[in-house]
């Protein structure tokens, strides 16, 4: 994963939200940026409405399970420097065979998950990795609320305690749109909107976990007014609605996911 700084970006509109976020983060030494990849399916391209309604997805939303957990560990006292990583594949239980859509989206192969441990074992490995950070305190964040909900569902399904306490979770996606007074953005589009260019594999947990740390560090380090050129996601300016090529104005799937 490579992120290149480029000219341009959005600017802070709600400084009170940013100050509140900084205060919240200052209560702990460590910040975990977490991302999950999960079993999934999608409709084949070219289906008309009738065919789409008749098509049954191999993986329904309530059947989704993590197949990869990626975490970037940031040291708050070192200006949010990434100091460690955790990454493991997870073997799904409900739908052990990955769909063609899933492997194409993530690049995760069937052999990757066939040789992986079940969720409960991976959670134990994560617990061991996280234990040395307990004394100085930690919080965790993700881009959106999906990861928090999915980890809770899988802990219940596996009959284990929820390791990453939901009460310690910060929804960075929500923080982003509150601070910049914009509509909710996907991770890739948000990274590009603050003046960074994303080059690498999207929809891989270890990469996305590390990339989630980038806008976080960039946001909390902002001093004064962050004026810059408008980013290509400038559709949130009400007097100049621009539908970008990736369709992010309508929230469609694309490079902004």
According to CATH, the topology of domain 28-180+200-225 is Nucleotidyltransferase; domain 5 (3.30.420)
Q: Encoding tokens for residue 135?
A: 């004394």
Cα–Cα distance, 207 to 33 (Å, whole number):
11
Angle at 52 between CA 58 and CA 56, to 5 degrees: 20
The DSSP secondary-structure symbol of 44 reads P
Question: How far does Cα 42 stand from its chain's mean position?
Answer: 20
Query: Is the Cβ–Cβ distance between 226 and 11 less than 8 Å?
Result: yes
Instruction: Return the pLDDT at 182.
Output: 84
Query: Is the Cβ–Cβ distance between 197 and 9 less than 8 Å?
Result: no
Query: Is the Cβ–Cβ distance between 229 and 9 less than 8 Å?
Result: yes
Kindly give, in sequence order, each residue whose CB lies less than 8 Å from that of residue 1, ignoring residues fewer than 6 positions away. 199, 200, 201, 207, 210, 211
Grouping H, G, I as helix, E, B as strand and the rest as coil, residue 72 is strand
Helix axes 205-220, 172-180, angle to 10 degrees: 30
Task: List per-residue pLDDT tens for the chain, 257 residues long.
Answer: 433 333 345 678 888 888 888 888 888 999 999 999 999 999 999 999 999 999 999 999 999 999 999 999 999 999 888 999 999 999 999 999 999 999 999 999 999 999 999 999 999 999 999 999 998 999 999 999 999 999 999 999 999 999 899 999 999 999 988 988 888 888 888 878 877 766 556 556 566 667 677 767 777 777 654 333 333 333 232 323 222 223 233 333 333 33
38 half-sphere exposure, CB direction, 13 A CA radius? 22
């Amino acid at each position: 994963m490579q992120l290149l700084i480029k000219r341009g970006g959005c600017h802070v509109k709600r400084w009170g939200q940013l100050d509140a976020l900084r205060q919240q983060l200052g209560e702990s030494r460590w910040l975990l940026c977490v991302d999950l990849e999960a079993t999934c399916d999608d409709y084949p391209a070219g289906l008309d409405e009738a065919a789409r309604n008749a098509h049954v997805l191999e993986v329904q939303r309530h059947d989704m399970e993590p197949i990869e957990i990626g975490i970037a560990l940031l040291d708050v006292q070192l200006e949010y420097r990434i100091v460690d990583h955790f990454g493991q594949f997870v073997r799904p239980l409900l739908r052990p065979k990955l769909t063609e859509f899933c492997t194409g989206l993530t690049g995760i192969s069937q052999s990757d998950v066939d040789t992986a441990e079940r969720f409960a074992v991976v959670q134990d490995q994560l617990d061991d990795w996280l234990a040395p950070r307990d004394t100085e305190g930690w919080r965790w964040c993700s881009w959106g609320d999906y990861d928090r909900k999915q980890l809770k569902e899988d802990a219940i399904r596996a009959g284990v305690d929820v390791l990453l306490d939901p009460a310690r979770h910060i929804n960075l996606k929500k923080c982003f749109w509150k601070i910049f007074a914009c509509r909710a953005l996907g991770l890739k589009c948000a990274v590009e909107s603050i003046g960074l260019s994303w080059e690498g594999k999207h929809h891989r947990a270890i990469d996305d976990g590390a990339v989630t740390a980038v806008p976080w560090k960039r946001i909390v380090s902002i001093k004064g007014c962050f004026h810059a050129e408008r980013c290509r996601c400038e559709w949130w300016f009400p007097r100049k609605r621009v539908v970008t090529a990736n369709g992010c104005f309508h929230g469609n799937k694309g490079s902004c996911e």
